[in-house]
Amino acid sequence: GLWITPSTSAGGVGHGLRRSRVTLLCVGLDHRATPMAVLSEAGLDAPRSRGLLLAVADDECVAEALVLSTCNRLEIYADVDRFHPAVDALTTLVAKHTGVDRDRLVEHLRVRYDEAAVTHLLSVTAGLESVVPGETQVLGQVRTALRIAQDEGTTGRVLNGVTQTPVTDYTVSEA
């Protein structure tokens, strides 16, 4: 069923980015918890990924949104004001935009919030969550997802703040 990774503190992600009743949420599928057949079915091309992004940003629970869609993951990062309604809404939107049955999605969906969502994004960006740990292609994919979200006006203080250093300042040295 639905896997939920809790925050390590009740107060949010810290660093002045969060109000106590608001949550940084990551809802998604990845190669570690999802069979490749489901990941392939849930895969989104750029226009459909942008459509999902805009639908997520349009949800009443969501203040900011970013969609990361690669061959090995489909993840939504969102600044939300209500946890449970947001998880439900994002799950429904993923099902609608991917065409994967909602019940089938829930079997593999991972939900992370607050510090766990930030830590996960940092691990993904660094390539630690990749099929081949340490690969660098995902950094460019996260940068592209951030740029698209910024171009569409779906990011703000929270998502721009969490992604600022790891996404924009991280470089990989070729040794």
> What DSSP character marks residue 81?
S
Q: How far is the C-alpha of 59 from the C-alpha of 15, rounded, in Å?
A: 26
**Is 7 in a helix, a strand, or coil?**
coil
Asked if 71 is an active-site residue, the reply is yes
Q: How far is the C-alpha of 165 from the C-alpha of 4, rounded, in Å?
A: 26
Per annotation, catalytic residue among 71, 128, 131, 172 = 71
What amino acid occupies position 149?
A: A
> Using an 8 Å Cβ cutoff, are 44 and 74 in contact?
yes
Structure tokens at 91: 């799950």
> What DSSP character marks residue 31?
T
Q: How far is the C-alpha of 19 from the C-alpha of 113, rounded, in Å?
A: 14
Give the catalytic positions in this structure.
71
